Amino acid sequence: MAIHITGDDAADQVLTESPFALLVGMMLDQQYPMEHAFRGPAKVLDRFGSFEPAAIAAAEPEAFASLCATPPAIHRFPGSMAARMQEVARIVEDTYGGDAARIWTEAADAKDLMKRVQALPGFGKQKAQIFVTLLAKQLGVRPEGWEQQVGAYSEEGYRSVADVVDPASLQKVRDHKKQMKAAAKAAR
């Protein structure tokens, strides 16, 4: 199944073809517009020539950070995100033999999958829930008990990047996030 998050066919193709790119896109999705975050892996691939975890993990940190900061940067905090990306790459390489998909294909159940994702840098509980929902909704990865692990994210609606399949659904997710921020602000 093809991923359609970024609004850029080439960037979406990188996400579709590379489980590691999808994982990194989710890692980059914080304090930055989601479609731009998910374009980060394609930018790295274009500039670095590879998006293999082993190559990224082995890259010289300062040179890799510089590559990530080249305009347009991969994130509003390119240096810290470059370091985090290299750390995720090392974990994928060392723990999963360079195959990010093993994080979800070898999980015993949804609880184990949540534990595996939360063990990665940049993945707290909420982000792990969103990523597990993305795997379920976009890729059909539904380990036993996934709905219980992700809560409201598994419901129908437009809550997160897991619900983005086209420009219209992206706008609905943005509208939902805007409403949630307004409600939180009003509650203060």
CA distance 179 to 185: 10
Helix/strand/coil for 87: helix
Cβ proximity of 104 and 135 under 8 Å: yes
State residue 149's pLDDT score: 85
The region, left, alpha or beta by phi > 0 then psi within -120 to 50, assigned to residue 96 is alpha
State residue 148's pLDDT score: 87
Give the DSSP letter of residue 161. Answer: G
State residue 147's pLDDT score: 87
Tokens 């909420």 locate to: 126
State residue 146's pLDDT score: 87
List the domain boundaries for the chain.
Answer: 9-187
Q: pTM for this structure?
A: 0.93
Q: Please say whether the dihedral angle defined by the alpha carbons of residues 101, 102, 105 and 110, taken in this order, is positive or negative.
A: negative
CA distance 126 to 183: 19
User: CATH: 3.20.20.80, 3.40.50.300, 1.10.340.30, 1.10.8.350. Which one for 9-187?
Assistant: 1.10.340.30
Q: Which residues in the chain come in under a pLDDT of 70?
A: none
The region, left, alpha or beta by phi > 0 then psi within -120 to 50, assigned to residue 140 is left
State residue 166's pLDDT score: 85
